[in-house]
Chains A and B, each alone.
Chain A
Amino acid sequence: AQKVTQAQTEISVVEKEDVTLDCVYETRDTTYYLFWYKQPPSGELVFLIRRNSFDEQNEISGRYSWNFQKSTSSFNFTITASQVVDSAVYFCALSDPGGSYIPTFGRGTSLIVHP
């Protein structure tokens, strides 16, 4: 069975600080996908990224970057120079054949960026 742990329930930073959101996963499969979603106060879920288990290259998209470490089963998300608009709940998710590829979500990390 798969499991996603986001140990940080809430993180509070001041604008322009860098912040890293942790995600640790468990799966017995060698083929799987990892996701990050953002849920702003308005409530919708915004897709940010999907990575497959065979691609361990880190990815950068503007102020966002992702660090995939298979050795530690982690897929951490870093926001550089945070902004107030980054305030949201961020969900990490895992999908694998054991779960018929239906994503399992972590409980989310609430990020609050103060001006």
Chain B
Amino acid sequence: NAGVMQNPRHLVRRRGQEARLRCSPMKGHSHVYWYRQLPEEGLKFMVYLQKENIIDESGMPKERFSAEFPKEGPSILRIQQVVRGDSAAYFCASSPGRGGPSTDTQYFGPGTRLTVL
């Protein structure tokens, strides 16, 4: 039973380029969450998605960042025109969605480490 998959594990971009981070939830999970972890800090919530819907994006910067979770395929976190401050580890988590965040436990992927040169 595969866990949450994220790719790539490491991503290097130059300032101004685009970064695309992918997340495949655990089998049977329909809810996806994205978090950002800055060096020596805890995880900060960015966005919560269900299939084809953004439920809560209160933690995501208004500009340059977007997320989607299409009907088919992985969830994508997209960062346009990256800047050095975007360098961080980005974690995806998934949950079954039977009860929503109130009763679901989130299971995390291995993370994508983004480095912006």
Contacts and interface: CB of A to CB of B under 8 A. Distances in A.
B24 to A, nearest CB: 14
Contacts of A77: none
Nearest to B93: A45
A61 to B, nearest CB: 15
Interface residues of A, number: 23
A74 B102 CA distance: 20
Contacts of A107: 40-42
Most buried by A among B33, B43, B45: B43
B61 interface: no
Contacts, number: 55
Contacts of A97: 102
B102 A91 contact: no
Interface of B: 33, 35, 40-45, 48, 56, 59, 89, 91, 93, 100-102, 105-111, 113
A43 B93 CA distance: 14
Given A35-B105, A45-B111, 20 more contacts: A33-B102, A37-B108, A42-B110, A43-B111, A43-B113, A44-B108, A44-B109, A44-B111, A45-B93, A45-B108, A47-B106, A100-B48, A101-B100, A101-B101, A102-B33, A102-B59, A107-B40, A107-B41, A108-B41, A108-B42
A104 B106 CA distance: 12
Nearest to B104: A101
